[in-house]
Amino acid sequence: MEITAKMVKELRDKTNAGMMDCKKALSETDGDFEKAITYLREKGIAKAASKAGRTTKEGLIASYIHPGDKLGVIVEINCETDFVARTDDFKAFAKDIAMQVAATGPLAVIREQLDTELIGKEREIYRQQALNEGKPEKIIDKIVDGKIEKYYSEACLMEQAFVKDNEKTISDVVKDIISRLGENISIKRFARFRLGE
């Protein structure tokens, strides 16, 4: 199949990937637009993974104040260079993360930051719920594990569904921005303030 400039432009507009990457993706997938998007995402994720070990000492602090001035968020997002930190893409990403924290109220960036005592208490609650529902003893651990995974997906920012596109997690969004900007990027920390709390 012939790959036209129009097809390449359309894919580029949709994915923000480079022109040659888009042309290659369309060639590899015989012009199938959806497969080409998947191909680019997989390649981007591979690129993002290769950058994961690099040091992030630059970046910015972004804030979001919810209309009504009763809820505010501050986030620290790190990258490798000041040049990337000043780009519109990076600033927009940081703002999106601040809005995500405002909307969902996560407890930590990653699951390893959650208090083990808190997780232990949640496990006990889920176990007791399963027992109260009369679930067989042999499947209770699986039920509890499933509920703990769901808890992580709500309490940990990186595992949450992105509020602007719930097909992606925040981890996916971070990988996308890494592949777009070509630097390692990490969400360092956040603080969420609600009036009266």
C-beta separation of 21 from 47 below 8 A: no
Are 100 and 62 within one domain? yes
Predicted structure pTM score: 0.69
Are 105 and 131 within one domain? no
Distance CA 186, CA 171 (A): 10
Are 89 and 75 within one domain? yes
C-beta separation of 176 from 154 below 8 A: no
Are 104 and 163 within one domain? yes
Q: Give 126-145 pLDDT, tens digit per residue.
A: 999 988 888 888 898 899 99
Please count the structural domains in the chain: 3
Are 68 and 45 within one domain? no
Q: Residue 73 pairs with which residues in a beta bridge?
A: 64, 192
Are 94 and 164 within one domain? yes
Q: Residue 84 pairs with which residues in a beta bridge?
A: none
Are 74 and 161 within one domain? yes
Q: Is the pLDDT of residue 195 over 80?
A: yes
We report the CATH number of the domain holding residue 41 as 1.10.8.10
Please state at what angle helix 5-15 crosses helix 33-51, rounded to 10 degrees.
50
Are 42 and 98 within one domain? no
We report the CATH number of the domain holding residue 122 as 1.10.286.20
C-beta separation of 75 from 62 below 8 A: yes
Q: Is the pLDDT of residue 84 over 60?
A: yes
Q: Give 153-167 pLDDT, tens digit per residue.
A: 999 999 999 999 999
Give the chain's length. Answer: 197
Q: Give 59-76 pLDDT, tens digit per residue.
A: 999 999 999 999 999 999
By DSSP bridging, strand 186-194 and strand 71-79 are: antiparallel
Q: If pLDDT is split at 50, 70 and 90, which confidence band does 180 have?
A: confident
Are 139 and 63 within one domain? no
We report the CATH number of the domain holding residue 80 as 3.30.479.20
Are 122 and 136 within one domain? yes
Are 41 and 120 within one domain? no
Whole domain around residue 47: which residue ranges?
Answer: 5-51
C-beta separation of 30 from 59 below 8 A: no
Are 94 and 26 within one domain? no
